[in-house]
Structure 1
Amino acid sequence: VALGSSMTLFSIMMAGCKFAEAAWLEPFQDQLGASMRVALGDYIAQVRVGAIECLPRLSAAFGLEWVKSNCLAELRKDIESDPFYQFHLKDAMEKPAVERERGSKEVALHSKWITYFASLRVLISEQIDSETAAEWSDVLCTGVEVTTPNVRFNAMLAMGELAKVADDDLLQSKLKPAITTMANEDVDDDCKYFAKQQLAEINSNQGY
């Protein structure tokens, strides 16, 4: 995707999101979903950020399930099918002697992950159902344990938002333990510092 076409797409998306609540957008859901998928996977960071900013309005207009299936599902599939996916997990596979180099316009795995977790963060609200909360908690628990600090950081921020709206069972069984581990054991100072802040907020909300 050329710079000009990417920025044109970015402008169209932002204009569309401004009027996302309008009924006249409904006939264009397929085209809008396709444009969002392209933008979320664009190699230009500004385009990805613009797409993320559109997600809450699209969710308000078409519903969270529409956003999950039409905007985020392909991104998550792309992450999990990336040839380096297994190498970044907590129990990483042994890396090959020679890694495939990515092209200049190919988005790195850590950038895909950051885009996905930033997307979840802006979409999390009290309106998400328990099934979605459980689904997202699983992927976030994976995210806070990967080997790249920026990925862990963004997963932790999204997890903090989810902790605010999750039921007590999910909070106590998955979210709080994951954030506690990060606050105590993460090797990255920034991740550890902000995880401690998230944990303090959780404890404060629980009256501790």
Structure 2
Amino acid sequence: MKKTLKVPKLPQPIRTDIYLSKVTGMSRSRVKDLINDELILVDNQPVKQSHKLRGGESISITICKQKETINTTIDIPLIYIDEAIIVVNKPPFISVHTGAGEKATTLIEAVSSRYPIESGVGSKGREGIVHRLDKDTSGVMVIARTHIAYNSLIRQFSSHKVAKEYIAVVDGNLPLNEGEIKLPIARHPIHRKRISHELETRVDWWRPVAQLFALRV
């Protein structure tokens, strides 16, 4: 469903998320999610939630149809669970949370349908999510069940206190036994579906853990 709003003359500039929350009744976290997924456009352009409206703008809002059912039979291997967190092994080819055009059941929908998460922990459709993995990637996901755990984990991930390791299959021969990947790459601050090469520089280290051979008989 798509609807268009015309912003009237305003006495003073106002943030996009605050304005839309007032005129539509949606929560600011819901507005934020729609903005991040580029489902809210101002004059046909994606914006940040902090973008100031001054009056006269045209705002289009696209709200995807809700899933009729959630597939609770998806196999999500459980690694650890207590009253504060859930740790699962995310299978490949399943989205962590809802996004633009996502119709299939997501990881968090499947997990939260089995293991309760406190109300209001994270934003709608992303309950308990403190980090992410790409849809095609498999690996360990930590999900918060309480507000205290959510806030603590968010701080730990944002301050890089959590070490992450990834395993990838590479075709060819590596010239070195280890190396550094140093690239300026991050999510674009406005176009949330794009990558920007003009932001913070990321530094990662790699090393081979195994060598595979293809044998022909």
Normalised by the length of structure 2, the TM-score is 0.27
> Which structure features the higher share of helix residues?
1
Larger radius of gyration: 2
> Which structure features the higher share of strand residues?
2
